[in-house]
Each structure stands twice: as structure tokens, then as C-alpha cells.
Amino acid sequence: MLIMLLSFAFGCSTTTLSGTVVDASDTPIGGVVVRTEADSECSTKTTDAGTFTLECAPGDWTVLFEHTDHLSVVRITTLTRSDRVELTRTTMQAIPTEPGLHILVNNRFEPLPSASLKRTTINNGTAKQRAFCVDSHTAAPFAAGRAGTVTMLADVPPNWRAFRMDEHGCAYRDAKTAEGHWVIDHQDRPALHTDRKQNGVVLTNWEAAGGDYFLADWAGFFVPVESDADTYSGRWIRFD
């Protein structure tokens, strides 16, 4: 989170920076370390009411909010001599306690339920066609909200891939020609951008269009479940 508050800096006396830190439910968070990046002396912790007050030298400051159970937040502000800056509320996102893959919805990380793909194969002599389609009999899509930039959280590096499904609910389709060559018939896979790791979890961003996606467990290819080599594990989500 990056919010710019604009002003001008003068002189070298101290000034006051204050505010409140809350979670996605607007509940105050106590014990948050609030500090300026360049000045180790300018540091404090929030009270049980989530409030804090810092006395810092005037200047342009990068203010860090850190807590073991929440993702860190960075805000940028300018502190002016003999001024008092009241920040708007700072919202920190809680790190899920349960393992697995989570998606950020309404400023909260929601766990994604399991779903699966079923592989069907049509043989035609030495040629064949394969389709990896969602098993709608065992799961329903998770309503992920509006399309756009998606933020995912996991407790391990990305071992999953996102596939936009076609109109038949298939994440991937390919075919083997009579000459033995494999050709991809359908694959729409957005790029994943893993750029932050905090408190033992990994954050990954990607761009989603409207429609259904399958987030497949990945180990160089789809990961089959132990009980059925034609069934592959993952999660099914839908964007407006």
C-alpha cells in the first residue's frame, strides 16, 4: 500500500506524526512497530487502541508499519517543521493462520477451496485428443469479485499456475497427430509475478480478465491426485 501525502519541508526541528492502524474489519491493531526508514531513532509501537504518535525531524519520510501477524505496509509522507501530520487510517492485512492458497478479496485474504480437473482422452488410431476440464460435479467456482490485478498469498513459493478456462470449462486441451506430434489446442495462461516475501509467506500478483480460471497445482505439469491418474488438483475461481 502506497499513499502519497504532499507538503513542503522546512527547517530541522521535530514535528509530530500520528495515526491509527486497523485490520480489514476496522479493528485496532496493537503492538505494530511504526518507524521511519532512514532514522532508527524515530520509532514507536501502536497502543491497544491502534494509535501511535511519532516525533520526527522534518523531511520526506518512508514510514514502515510492521507486525508479525500482518503484512507490512509502506507509506510516504512529508513532515513539515512545527507541523502535526495526521495520517488517514492505515489498514494491515492479516496473514492467514491456515496453510494453502489464499486470494485477496475486500482487503482480506480468503482461502480457496479445492477443485479438480478431469482428463478425457479420445483416441483415433495413432492420433488422440486430450481435454483437462473442471469437474463441476465435485466443486463450484469461488466468487473472486472484479477482474483486474489479483493478489495471491501462499506459504510456499508458487507451485501453481493459473489457466483461463474456455467456454467448455477446459483449462487445457491438446492433441497428438498421427505422426506423433503434440499440438496445444487451448492454453490461456497469465504470467505470475512473485515480488514480495514477508513473515514466511509469498505474495504473487497477476492480471485476470472476466471469466473462470483454474489454479492448478503444478510440478512441471498438472499434478494428479493419488487415487486417480486422470484427476488433477487445484482451485476454481470466477471473476465478474
Q: Is the CB of residue 16 less than 8 Å from the CB of residue 36?
A: no
User: Over the stretch 207-230, which tens digit does the pLDDT of each residue have?
Assistant: 999 999 999 999 999 999 998 999
CA distance 50 to 214: 39
Superfamily of domain 4-91, CATH level 4: Carboxypeptidase-like, regulatory domain (2.60.40.1120)
Mean pLDDT of 180-198: 90
- Above 90 in pLDDT, residue 49? yes
Instruction: Name the grid cell of 240.
Output: 465478474
The confidence band for 82, taking pLDDT boundaries of 50, 70 and 90, is low
CA distance 237 to 149: 14
> Residue by residue, what is the 3-state secondary structure of the chain?
CCCEECCCCCCCCCEEEEEEEECCCCCECCCCEEEECCCCCCEEECCCCCEEEEEECCEEEEEEEEECCEEEEEEEEEECCCCEEECCCEECCECCCCCCCEEEECCEEEECCCEEEEEEEEEECCEEEEEEEECCCCCCCEECCCCEEEEEEECCCCCEEEEECCCCCEEEEEEECCCCCEEEEECCCCCCEEEEEECCEEEEEEEECCEEEEEEEECCCECEECCEEEEEEEEEEEEC
Mean pLDDT of 106-121: 94
The confidence band for 195, taking pLDDT boundaries of 50, 70 and 90, is confident
Name the least confident of 33-37, 96-100, 117-121, 224-228. 96-100
**Quick one: what percent of the chain has pLDDT higher than 70?**
93
Name the least confident of 95-104, 161-170, 205-214. 95-104
Residue extent(s) of CATH 2.60.40.1120 domains in the chain: 4-91
Residue 170's Cβ-count burial label (10 Å; 0-12, 13-18, 19+) is buried
Mean pLDDT of 87-95: 93
